[in-house]
């Protein structure tokens, strides 16, 4: 690629960078980081939001709606993955010869400014592991720059611009985005068939993760879940450190409490630290092991791992308590894959509620179709199941599928076409001792929030 067509030729102080979809979860922090690096930033988004308001309060021009004139004066365009070539601003830029770069390319350029780049990937657990790692590195006073795909109470945001030598990045495989990164530490939590609107099959997903691991230089570290067969297969013949519960793991948990919230971490056979988590569940043991392994290879003392993890109470939309309604606790979670549902329901069953009421909103038609039988199996585990209609996200329903199809396969399940109907039914059944879970990567959280407004 010629220098003038590479993003690092444009992401320099004084340049005008325009971000299409600037209100997005990783676009907003990108705009703030680039502004902090001395660039003039503008952007656009379809809707006004808390995110766009924050950007404007920090001196960034944000246009609501996408129009050709919004890009006037821009040296280059950075777009979110959802912005296609027919977007008016993208189309205008291409016609005018203004370079258009992907969001992940820009983060890759930023990453190269840091001595240490910890990139946390995996089909599940990325956000929580990135958040746990942030807690540890903040406790160790490493002053990291952070990008998380969710809000973290410690940061009061989903990002942080630090002055230290380390950047901690949640790294997504969708559209091979993480292949634009420059990790010195690559973490792989697990690998499953997902994002099948982009990947052909599980083997295709595995190949993407293998390429991601191969980005790490010889002086760096690949840290991967040695208990996950798909990960082990993907990394065959590559050098990496393992974490898990199996004997022989480089980083292993033992003396685990029944609710999986308390355990010791052994690093290469020796006690590294003891951990008491404020979150429970077997999946969080794995998340904590991955975060601790990242800290260990970066020379952080075990005491900082213990202290950092003890203050972690969860990331936004990851088993996040929203409030109580008529004695029922209302929580929200981002789980949108059958394995994530399994881990979530497995962990909440340990909490002793009378009933688990699950209001679930599938995310994308392609995922619902591809993993239909797995969704049916996991959703049956709830005591009461409410199904909202599928959240389309970036898709059109070319699959002829509905949440009603799931409900038809699950005895007692109820299907609702709208979120207000979900809220109304929750209102009618909520009792003392219930756990109400709103779950999914779309806007199902609004059903729980609407319920709480009434109380």
Residues with catalytic function: 126-127, 170
Read off the tokens for 30.
């990108």
Query: 43: closest CA among 68, 30, 60?
Result: 60
The count of other CB atoms within 10 Å of the CB of residue 380 is 14
Partners of residue 145 on adjacent β-strands: 167
Residues 6+ apart with CB under 8 A from 348: 319, 331, 356, 435, 437
Query: 118: closest CA among 162, 176, 69?
Result: 162
What are the φ and ψ backbone dihedral angles of 134, each rounded to 5 degrees?
A: -60, -45
- Cβ atoms of residues 346 and 282 within 8 Å: yes
Q: Tokens 């027919």, residue?
A: 86
The count of other CB atoms within 10 Å of the CB of residue 353 is 17
């Amino acid at each position: 690629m010629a220098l003038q067509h590479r993003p690092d030729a444009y992401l320099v102080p004084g340049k005008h960078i325009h971000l299409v979809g600037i209100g997005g979860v990783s676009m907003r922090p990108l705009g703030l980081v680039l502004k902090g690096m001395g660039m003039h930033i503008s952007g656009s988004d379809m809707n006004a939001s808390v995110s766009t308001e924050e950007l404007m309060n920090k001196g960034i021009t944000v246009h609501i709606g996408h129009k050709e004139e919004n890009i006037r004066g821009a040296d280059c365009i950075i777009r979110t993955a959802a912005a296609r070539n027919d977007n008016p601003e993208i189309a205008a830029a291409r016609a005018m010869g203004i370079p258009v770069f992907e969001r992940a390319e820009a983060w890759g350029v930023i990453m190269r400014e840091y001595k240490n780049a910890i990139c946390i990937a995996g089909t599940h657990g990325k956000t929580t592991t990135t958040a746990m790692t942030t807690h540890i590195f903040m406790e160790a006073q490493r002053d990291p720059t952070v990008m998380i795909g969710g809000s973290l109470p410690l940061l009061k945001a989903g990002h942080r611009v630090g002055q230290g030598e380390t950047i901690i990045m949640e790294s997504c495989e969708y559209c091979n985005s993480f292949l634009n990164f420059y990790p010195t530490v690559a973490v792989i939590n697990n690998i499953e068939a997902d994002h099948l609107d982009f990947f052909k099959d599980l083997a295709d997903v595995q190949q993407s993760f293998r390429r991601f691991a191969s980005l790490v230089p010889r002086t760096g570290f690949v840290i991967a879940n040695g208990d996950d067969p798909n990960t082990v297969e993907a990394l065959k013949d590559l050098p990496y450190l393992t974490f898990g519960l199996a004997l022989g793991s480089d980083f292993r948990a033992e003396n685990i409490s029944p609710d999986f919230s308390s355990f010791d971490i052994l690093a290469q056979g020796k006690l590294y630290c003891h951990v008491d988590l404020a979150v429970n569940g077997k999946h969080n043991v794995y998340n904590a092991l991955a975060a601790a392994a990242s800290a260990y290879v970066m020379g952080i003392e075990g005491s900082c791992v213990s202290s950092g993890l003890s203050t972690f109470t969860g990331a936004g939309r990851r088993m996040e308590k929203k409030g109580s309604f008529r004695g029922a606790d209302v929580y929200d979670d981002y789980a949108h894959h059958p394995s994530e549902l399994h881990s979530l329901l497995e962990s909440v069953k340990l909490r002793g509620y009378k009933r688990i009421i699950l209001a679930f909103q599938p995310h994308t038609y392609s995922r619902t179709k591809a993993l239909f039988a797995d969704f049916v199996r996991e959703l049956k585990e709830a005591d009461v199941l409410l199904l909202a209609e599928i959240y389309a996200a970036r898709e059109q329903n070319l699959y002829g599928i509905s949440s009603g199809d799931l409900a038809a396969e699950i005895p007692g399940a109820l299907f609702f076409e709208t979120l207000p109907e979900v809220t109304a039914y929750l209102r009618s059944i909520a009792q003392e001792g219930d756990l109400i879970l709103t779950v999914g990567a779309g806007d199902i959280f609004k059903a729980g929030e609407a319920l709480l407004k009434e109380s």
